[in-house]
Structure 1
Amino acid sequence: MRYDLDDLRLFLHIVAEGSITAGARRMHLSLPSASARVRTLEHHAGVALLVRGRRGVRPTPAGTTLARHARDVLTHAARLEGAVGSYSRRPAAPLTLLAGGSAMYRVVPQALVTFLREHPDADVDVRESRTPNTLRLLAEGAADLGVVIDHEVGGSDVRTEPLGDDSLVVIGQAGGILAGRTSLAYREAAEHPLVGLDADSSLRRWIDANIGPRAPAARFRTTVADINVLVALAAAGVGLAIAPRRAVEGDPRLDVCALEDPWSRRNHLLAWGAKDPTPSVTALAEHVRAAAGAP
């Protein structure tokens, strides 16, 4: 037995309205046309589906069963249409989000999780980038959003807004050489064995550019590409490390000391591309703000 999907939709409207006339109106059909479709349904079913009365119609037991299964059929048909139709839609160009290494630790991943979950048709190209390069690409219209460091924005014409603290701290194994300390200068930290990020990472470059030529030559026991690994090594007592405060705050494995050097106190800014933001870009910005404000 074959059923027409429009006939099933009409039947559900008639049952919901209690009237063939009202059901026909919702399907933009004439009453004779709607009545003929119902008769065709009943002919195929071989049983009456509606009880007609002076005050309208109501489904027979067979009609109630048909209505229940018709809802399931139409739901699955809509899912099928959406699933197949997604292949025929031309995918939109991915959004481009640039950020430095510290923002790549929590802010960017958290923003991506919530944004991509809520926007299944949007894609995001994420790249680690130092602030000067990020500002250049945004100004050229080659990126949509960036997370940059306030000290490096200078006279850029790129539109920015405050995003949150990104101060750097010294970390070491809990109960180790930092126990009882609340702050120290980089010069003192560098007198101890360190673990650090790779020399090409944006955060390491920031540190190297700001410590100055008079800073003692640091001994790095190892360098790694990922802040998670850096934190794990410091927590294991391998060496002290410099890390963003938001990456380590509340970690019971660590003692955390503020850096006394002025360059360690910095803030993240959300920077916008030169092109007018699309609704997707605006939505992504909202998720970045929410991630930056999350504990």
Structure 2
Amino acid sequence: MFDSRHIKSFHEVVRTGSYSAAARSLGYTQPAITQQMKALERDVGTPLFTRAGRGLRLTEAGETLSRHAAAILDTMSAAQQQMTALTRLHSGRVRLCAFPSANATLVPETLSRLASGHPGVRVELSEEEPPESLQRLVRGECDIALAFTYPGLEEEVPDEVLEIPLLEDQLLVLLPTRHPLTRRRTVGLAELAEERWIAGCLRCRVNFLHECAEQGFAPDIAFTTDDNLVVQSLVAEGLGIAMMPGLVLNFLRHEQVTGRALAPASKRQVSAYVLKEHLRIPATALVLDELRTVASHKIGC
């Protein structure tokens, strides 16, 4: 393995034609250059120079190394520039996996802020509901996962993963605009025991059934769908009512449906998840900071 300093000094000796000239160019003493060339020859296992009068002549090994030295130094310089760009946040890649309503609300503003302040940082976006998003994080398929949990239904987070809470997203009951309960500001879940329901994604559905059981009833689920627009369209047609996160209604609201807060209040926790060791990666830390800033301005209701 060659010492990069020796390669640089060797290249300068070849360029200037002598140890003394190379020493002046690099700011070294001539004995220091001499010692470096001896060390490089020991690494190579053969002489690199021979004396030709007062000058130096490259041996066959020296000519071979000389042909590669410039390329080696160029590659090292390019690597240094890229590493500097990464650490100074001029560039970097972060793979972000988020659930649909986060992709529609938190992520666009986060990407906009990054594009404005750090245009060289590239975010690759994918979509997945939890717990699949967390599994992708552990497998190394993404750098940050956005996911949500419900009180009483939290999952155990692996030791190598750090949870960063972003916001509490209030759940609403979604009613057709002509429903009599739309005249009230809040609705008790137990009051809806006789209604027909449209259920959402698996994790939301598990929480919904859990909350209904806490209120002493089993809901009549007429339809299930992961598509929030379909849920609202079914509600608008009077085919049932639904429980929906407020974050969804921040970007998608059918004109024929009305959201009302539940009493007692029901919320889900939206968090970012990252491998602990990745917090030291500047681009990843930057994206997390921007997500926290954007989330602090969002109201999940």
What TM-score does the superposition give when structure 1 sets the normalisation length? 0.53
Kindly tell me: are residues 174 and 153 of structure 1, through their superposed partners in 2, closer, same or farther at Cα, counting changes over 3 Å? same
Contact 2:143 2:278 in 1 (8 A): no
Secondary structure class of the residue paired with 2:235: helix
CA shift, 1:228, in A, is 3.2
Kindly tell me: are residues 124 and 206 of structure 1, through their superposed partners in 2, closer, same or farther at Cα, counting changes over 3 Å? farther
Is 1:203 the counterpart of 2:204? The answer is yes
Question: In the aligned structure 2, how far is the partner of 1:120 from the partner of 1:173?
Answer: 46
Question: Which of 137-146 and 170-179 deviates more?
Answer: 137-146
Give me the identity figure in percent.
21
What is the CA deviation profile of residues 48-89 of structure 1, one whole-angstrom value per residue up to 9, with x for unaligned ones?
Answer: xxxxxxxxxxxxxxxxxxxxxxxxxxxxxxxxxxxxxxxxxx
- Equivalence for 1:286: 289
Is 1:186 the counterpart of 2:185? The answer is no
Q: CA RMSD in A?
A: 3.7
- Equivalence for 2:243: 242
Is 1:168 the counterpart of 2:171? The answer is yes
Question: In the aligned structure 2, how far is the partner of 1:258 from the partner of 1:126?
Answer: 31
Contact 1:116 1:123 in 2 (8 A): no
CA shift, 1:168, in A, is 1.0
Structure 2 residue ranges without an equivalent (≥5): 1-90
Question: In the aligned structure 1, how far is the partner of 2:179 from the partner of 2:209?
Answer: 25
Kindly tell me: are residues 130 and 217 of structure 1, through their superposed partners in 2, closer, same or farther at Cα, counting changes over 3 Å? same
Aligned residues: 199
Matched letter for residue 182 of structure 2: A
- Equivalence for 1:146: 145
Structure 1 residue ranges without an equivalent (≥5): 1-91
Kindly tell me: are residues 241 and 137 of structure 1, through their superposed partners in 2, closer, same or farther at Cα, counting changes over 3 Å? same
Contact 2:93 2:121 in 1 (8 A): no
Is 1:97 the counterpart of 2:96? The answer is yes
Secondary structure class of the residue paired with 2:277: coil
1:17-166 alignment runs, 5 A limit: 95-112=94-111, 115=114, 119=119, 122-131=122-131, 133-135=132-134, 137-138=136-137, 141-149=140-148, 151=151, 152=154, 157=159, 158-166=161-169
- Equivalence for 1:9: none
Question: In the aligned structure 1, how far is the partner of 2:212 from the partner of 2:136?
Answer: 27
CA shift, 1:289, in A, is 2.6
Question: In the aligned structure 1, how far is the partner of 2:113 from the partner of 2:226?
Answer: 25
